[in-house]
Structure 1
Amino acid sequence: MAPVHVERTPEGFVASNERGAHLKLGSTTEEGVFSPVELLLIAVGACNAVTVEPLTAQRGHRLPRLAVTIDATRAEPTLLDTVTVTYEVELPESLSPEKFAEIAERVHHRHCTVSRSLEKGTQVKLILPEA
């Protein structure tokens, strides 16, 4: 997996990847930026949505509309409790709500790296400069 980079610039914090994408981030009080927690929620929702799309398409079902809203509750001021992904879809006649739910559940439990990592409690290690 290619690393991402976060750096403080004169304009604020910017995240970037090796493909040239840049994203402003900061606190929840700053205009025009995403907070780190919002980025986590985006990662969960995007992972689910961009994985559901090709799986439904492979089965011959083009979703006329696909969106997700992601929310979270806090267990403590600095700890999330439950992250909720709410699908907003328009299903084609060829795809029942039950079949879509089955695909979305499979994505969440088997294919979405972000959701699976959060549920498994992936370790985060710090590498600090030596003194």
Structure 2
Amino acid sequence: MTDDSLRSVTIERTSTGHFTATNARGGTISFGTGSDPHADAEFTPVELLLAALGGCTAVDVDVATSRHAEPLRFSVAVTGHKTSDEFGNRMTDLAVTFSVAFPDVDGADRARAILPRAVKTSHDRLCTVSRTVEIGTPVTAAVEDA
């Protein structure tokens, strides 16, 4: 593996059950347990996973289609069921559903025509997030000596 392949975020606790993730470019996103009624705009880690699944494919599809026509509507719904079984807590039945509309302009027919292929190509080959979830990869957890 090269240093170019490394992706990372750091997570800092901001208060009980609340955290901020920061990427190497300085971008931040706050998240937490979702149980604080005063933090209703806060994502849970599971919601971040769903956003990553949909967002990864959305980026691929947007790049492929918007070069032909700017969409009137471009939304992605991501759903799944949180379950607990003999494998522990996990998400099942993950689904990413696109709702995209293009205006009647030059290139729109081409954008509409490639939309299904762009979604399939992203899902089957390009989206790092969904490929990692579907194929699976070991995750290690460790405690650093203080």
TM over 0.5: yes
Pairwise CA distance, 1:9: 2.1
Deviations 1:25-72 (A, max 9, x none): 1012122311000000000010010111111234x2432221101110
Aligned to 1:119, the other structure's residue is in SS state helix
Decide whether the 8 Å contact of 2:58 with 2:76 is kept in 1: yes
- Larger mean Cα displacement after TM superposition, 17-26 or 106-115: 17-26
**Are 1:65 and 2:70 counterparts?**
no
Rounded to whole Å, the distance in 1 between the matches of 2:29 and 2:114 is 35
Rounded to whole Å, the distance in 2 between the matches of 1:50 and 1:110 is 14
Decide whether the 8 Å contact of 2:78 with 2:97 is kept in 1: yes
Rounded to whole Å, the distance in 2 between the matches of 1:3 and 1:99 is 33
% identical aligned pairs = 32
Structure 1: stretches of 5+ with no match in the other structure: none
**Are 1:121 and 2:136 counterparts?**
yes
Equivalent position amino acid for 1:9 in 2: T
- Larger mean Cα displacement after TM superposition, 24-33 or 96-105: 96-105
Rounded to whole Å, the distance in 1 between the matches of 2:112 and 2:7 is 36
Q: TM-score, normalised by structure 2?
A: 0.78
Larger radius of gyration: 2
Equivalent position amino acid for 2:129 in 1: V
Rounded to whole Å, the distance in 1 between the matches of 2:79 and 2:100 is 17
Distance verdict in 2 for CA 1:46–1:96, change over 3 Å = closer
**Are 1:80 and 2:91 counterparts?**
yes
Question: 1:28 aligned to 23, 29, 34, which one?
Answer: 34
Question: 2:12 aligned to 4, 7, 16, which one?
Answer: 7
Aligned to 2:43, the other structure's residue is in SS state coil
Q: TM-score, normalised by structure 1?
A: 0.86
Rounded to whole Å, the distance in 1 between the matches of 2:111 and 2:12 is 46
Equivalent position amino acid for 1:20 in 2: G
Structure 1 segments, 4+ long, off by >3 Å, are 95-99
Rounded to whole Å, the distance in 1 between the matches of 2:64 and 2:119 is 9
